[in-house]
Homo-oligomer: A and B are copies of this chain.
Amino acid sequence: MKVVELAAPGFAGIRFADRPSALLGGHEVRIAMRAAALNYRDLAIAKGNYPVRRPVIPCSDGVGIVVETSTKATRVAVGDRVCPLFFPRWLAGAFDPAEFTRDLGGAIDGVLAQEVVMSEQSVVKVPPHLTDAQAAALPCAALTAWSALTSHVSIRPGQKVLIEGTGGVSLFALQFALLMGAEVLVTSSSAAKLAKARAMGAHHVLNYKDVPAWGVAAKEMLGGGADVIVDVGGAATFSEAIQALAPNGSISLVGVLSGAEAKLPVPMFMTRAMHAHGIAVGSREGFLAMNRAIALHKVVPVIDRVFPFADTPAAYAYAAAEHFGKVVIEIGK
């Protein structure tokens, strides 16, 4: 079978290779992959900013069709369209950091391959209304957004949610927060992207290029601050996010786009009874709950552009530049 491998750091290290098909062990299933979606993490891994075993097959996010099951498998059947889990063994409950010894497309081979073999426990069926390109983005991008809004906070209709940026996680967070009945503010440095966010339903938008101290501005726009903030930025954004947070509010930390070390103003954090939560993608139980929401509301993930498998390097390059929505690679086409 044909796979993509990261042979060396840098996009130049992306290459195609042939690997033998794996045999199925007990409870394992073979998936003919249909599409994979790129995340910021995939770009960082390809650039060599994360330590990975090389050559690794990249990408955590993808969808495919079950084409073979071992005799013991009962959860899925041939013909099912499924996504592999980002953390194959995190089914439910508290997170075990040992999962980072088996995260897809990082510690172990990922989904940018014609075939993937997984335990039947490590896949979930996807909502039927989604195209392959749309379904491909669920395992990390969508689930991280879902977890940020559900795993340690309970959002009630009428509560206020601030979402930083318009990347993959952020757009899913916008869609999910609206389903929850929240009042949503989105930040970006691009007026065009903010216009799109507003068209998707955001109640408020804020261009942080125009308002560098956007925390106080966001608090005012939200009439007292956000009850929940999805922080994708880390170092630079956290300080502003704290300013935008309402008393008793929570920041869900899901990314480090602007740097790894954030400053926490302890007196403000204490006297306003604030909360911060580290979000590590999510469990299978969360994935299944999310899929029920996506299916009921026919949520359509935002896709920017779809590339054929052969153009994988171009997809990486495109994803590294400006875009709005997921960059997807179709496999087997």
CB A52 to nearest CB in B, in angstroms, measures 15
- Closest B residue to A26 by CB, please name it: B26
* Cβ-closest chain B residue relative to A284: B93
If A269-B278, A270-B278 touch, whether A294 touches B158 (CB-CB below 8 Å) is yes
The answer to whether A261 and B261 touch across the interface, beta carbons within 8 angstroms, is: no
Q: Does A256 sit at the interface, judged by CB under 8 A? A: yes
Nearest-CB distance from A128 to chain B (Å)?
14
A150 with B156, Cβ < 8 A, contacts A92-B92, A256-B267, A263-B263 known: yes
Q: Would B262 and A264 count as touching, CB distance under 8 A?
A: yes
A268-314 at interface with B (beta carbon < 8 Å):
269-280, 283, 285, 289-297
Give A23-74 interface residues, CB cut-off 8 Å to B: 25-27, 72
Residue A266 at the B interface, CB < 8 A?
A: yes
The distance from the CB of A129 to the nearest CB of chain B, in whole angstroms, is 13
Closest Cβ neighbor of A144 among chain B residues: B270
Quick one: which of A86-115 are within 8 Å of B by CB? 91-97, 100
Could you tell me if B248 and A158 are in contact, using CB atoms closer than 8 angstroms?
no
Q: Is the CB of B292 within 8 A of A266?
A: no
Chain B residue numbers with a CB within 8 Å of A248 are: 94-95
A273 to B87, CA, bound (A): 14
For the complex, give the distance between the alpha carbons of A93 and B25 in Å: 26
CB distance from A295 to the nearest CB of B (A): 7
Stretch of A76-84, A173-181, A191-199, A205-213 contacting B (4+ beta carbons < 8 Å)? A173-181
Which of under 10, 10 to 19, 20 to 34, or 35 or more describes the interface residues of A? 35 or more
Which residues of A228-285 are within 8 A (CB) of B? Answer: 234-235, 238, 247-248, 253-256, 259-267, 269-280, 283, 285
Measured in the bound complex, the distance between the Cα atoms of B250 and A277 in whole Å is 9
Q: Which residue of chain B has its CB nearest to the CB of A90?
A: B92
Q: Nearest Cβ in chain B — how far from A301, in angstroms?
A: 15
Q: Which residues of B contact A285 (CB under 8 A)?
A: 93-94
CB distance from A155 to the nearest CB of B (A): 9
Decide: A296 and B183 in contact? CB cutoff 8 A: yes
Nearest-CB distance from A240 to chain B (Å)?
A: 14
CA distance A154 to B151 in the complex (A): 11
Contact of A158 among B270, B280, B295 (CB under 8 A): B295
Query: Bound complex: CA of A159 vs CA of B100, how far in Å?
Result: 24
Would B278 and A278 count as touching, CB distance under 8 A?
Answer: no
**Residue A152 at the chain B interface, CB threshold 8 Å:** yes
B273 pairs with A94, CB closer than 8 A: yes
A180 to chain B: which residues have CB within 8 Å?
156-157, 180-181
Q: How far is the CB of A70 from chain B (nearest CB, A)?
A: 9
Partner of A266, one of B72, B91, B238, B271: B238
17 extra A-B contacts, CB within 8 A, seeds A158-B295, A180-B180: A94-B248, A94-B273, A95-B248, A157-B296, A158-B291, A158-B293, A253-B269, A256-B267, A262-B263, A263-B263, A266-B278, A269-B278, A270-B279, A271-B278, A273-B279, A274-B277, A274-B278
By Cβ-Cβ distance, the 9 closest A-B pairs, closest first, are: A92-B93, A158-B292, A158-B293, A157-B293, A157-B179, A179-B181, A26-B26, A154-B154, A269-B278
